[in-house]
């Protein structure tokens, strides 16, 4: 386990130390579970009451706390400080492969930058280029004529098919598949006729793709994921999609063929977009939203079919009252039938 002093941690995050600067920690825990020797985080000053019972040896906090028994490191942006410290702990807890394993199969034509690591039983195909500091975990398959940019990490059991391009500083997580054949068929004479998918996949810089996520290659051109986009596990990006920069796709989100997402689009869990639909910049697809037609920039939608979120909430509110409304409707029907059954008043 790594050991960090409060002084070292404050140096990482630029915080002010209150208490002993030689206090050391070897582990990270939540506020309610932390004890001496642990580091904890208070991310938001609004929740400072949550830290009242915390017994961490060191606490990173956005505000100074009265009566805290351990050492405090006060940072204006405690959440960014947490990201920095977690990165340091992750490097120690999850060491990467070092060097090129003699059990890896690397084609002689592969070009490698400096400090490339390739794990056991990885396969790197003909004509592929690996940038500086690329890390490839065991059992990875990289096909022919691929490009993997500097400092990109490909975790175990990932499959990267021929002619896929991945930028710098990306993370492709366990069991993801990039460049598999898109789902293309036409129907003739009662049969499904295959349309071979001969395009490619291009992924920008700083992209993360989660475990068991698939990105299919295009029919003839490119499936594109632009810089800074983060895709969770169990997602699907179909052939010819174009995902703009800095988008978020949460677990089980899926895009049908030829979808275009603008900049900063958020696709929440289990949302879906029909083929050939364009979603404007900054739009938010809330959980399980089903989008069947184009959305303008900034739209926030919910439900299936997707509607503006406020409208969908009103619909759900009415749905909760349907049994009561049905009873009232039946009572009104009976009342009307009773009125109809009455003999007409003499004129």
Residues known to be catalytic: 239
Tokens 């959305």: give the residue. 295
Q: Which residues contact 342 (CB under 8 A, 6 or more apart)?
A: none
The DSSP call for residue 318 is H
CA 206 – CA 211 distance, rounded (Å): 16
Distance CA 239, CA 256 (A): 8
Burial 110-149 (b: 16+ CB within 10 A, else e): bebeeebbbbeebbbbebbbbbebbbbbbbbbbbbebbbb
Distance from C-alpha of 160 to C-alpha of 328, rounded to nearest angstrom: 61
Q: Check whether the bond before 194 is cis (ω within 30° of 0).
A: no
């Amino acid at each position: 386990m790594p050991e960090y002093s409060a002084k070292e941690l404050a140096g990482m995050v630029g915080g002010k130390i209150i208490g002993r600067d030689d206090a050391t920690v070897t582990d990270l825990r939540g506020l309610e579970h932390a004890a001496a020797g642990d580091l904890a985080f208070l991310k938001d000053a609004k929740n400072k009451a949550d830290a009242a019972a915390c017994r961490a040896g060191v606490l990173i906090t956005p505000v100074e706390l009265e009566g805290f028994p351990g050492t405090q490191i006060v940072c204006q942006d405690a959440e960014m400080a947490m990201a920095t410290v977690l990165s340091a702990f992750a490097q120690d807890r999850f060491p990467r492969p070092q060097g090129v394993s003699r059990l890896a199969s690397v084609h002689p034509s592969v070009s490698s930058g400096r400090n490339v690591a390739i794990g056991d039983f990885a396969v790197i195909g003909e004509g592929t280029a690996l940038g500086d500091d690329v890390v490839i975990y065991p059992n990875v398959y990289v096909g022919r004529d691929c490009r993997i940019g500097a400092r990109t990490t490909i975790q175990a059991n990932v499959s990267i098919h021929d002619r896929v391009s991945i930028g710098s500083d990306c993370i492709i997580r366990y069991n993801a598949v990039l460049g598999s054949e898109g789902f293309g068929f036409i129907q003739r004479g009662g049969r499904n006729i295959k349309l071979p998918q001969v395009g490619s996949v291009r992924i920008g810089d700083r992209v993360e793709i989660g475990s068991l996520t698939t990105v299919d290659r295009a029919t003839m051109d490119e499936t594109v994921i632009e810089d800074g986009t983060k895709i969770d596990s169990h997602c699907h990006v179909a052939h010819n999609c174009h995902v703009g920069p800095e988008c978020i796709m949460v677990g089980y989100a899926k895009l049908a063929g030829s979808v275009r997402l603008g900049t900063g689009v958020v696709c929440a869990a289990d949302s879906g977009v029909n083929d050939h639909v364009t979603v404007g910049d900054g739009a938010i697809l809330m959980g399980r939203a089903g989008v069947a037609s184009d959305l303008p920039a900034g739209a926030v939608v919910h439900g299936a079919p997707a509607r503006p979120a406020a409208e969908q909430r009103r619909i759900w509110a009415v749905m909760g009252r349907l049994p009561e409304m049905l009873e009232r409707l039946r009572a009104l029907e009976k009342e009307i039938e009773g009125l109809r059954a009455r003999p007409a008043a003499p004129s």
